[in-house]
Amino acid sequence: MKLDLSVATPLCPAPCPAISNLVKSDFRLSGIEVTSDAEKLSRIKLMMNHAVSIRNVERDDLPRIYEFQIDPESNRIAVTIPRSADGFSAHWENALRDPNVTAKAILIGDELVGCISCFKMDRLDSVGYWLGREFWGRGIASRALNLLLTEVSVRPLYARVATSNVASLRVLQKCGFVVEHVQLSPADDRYPECEEALLILR
């Protein structure tokens, strides 16, 4: 999904210099080392018995969000370029102070599985989300987006999505977004050149 999703809700009024240390620290899945694909799949199936919920992003979420956003396959599908640890930290330090950013952690039970946000992009109120790859295809993004839309009342809302990212287009359309136009977007330091759709929810 061609959106700037590495954002945070304004929880901290001052700079947070420890963020860089957080994202560079060792990461394990909720403190549990998953040793095989079968164990991971079994754990995910157990988690799916819990409801999807959203809450404000917390600083302790950042190491996992960082891991989500550097996954090569996720970036290939979303047509994005992952941030370095330093770039990620600087971005979050700014976002944590920005009163115009609303970001939520996506949870299944108590497990962090992604993030979803509302933010200004090219002066438009925009939404975006990012899920850990192991949680794709389970309806989580659609449920999280519906929850965000009940909390964020501003309309219209926009989303930009690479047209090759069919799954994300489907999520947005299920939640009421419609394609307004399609364009070729030039490359920059965050996104490769690609054809993208601009969607709107009125």
State pTM to two decimals.
0.79
Longest dimension (CA), the chain: 46
User: Tens of pLDDT along 74-103?
Assistant: 999 999 999 999 999 888 778 877 889 998
Domain coordinates in residue numbering, the chain = 19-152
Least confident of 26-35, 120-129, 176-185: 26-35
User: Tens of pLDDT along 25-42?
Assistant: 443 344 434 456 766 666
Residue 23's pLDDT is 54
Structurally, at CATH architecture level, domain 19-152 sits in 3-Layer(aba) Sandwich (3.40)
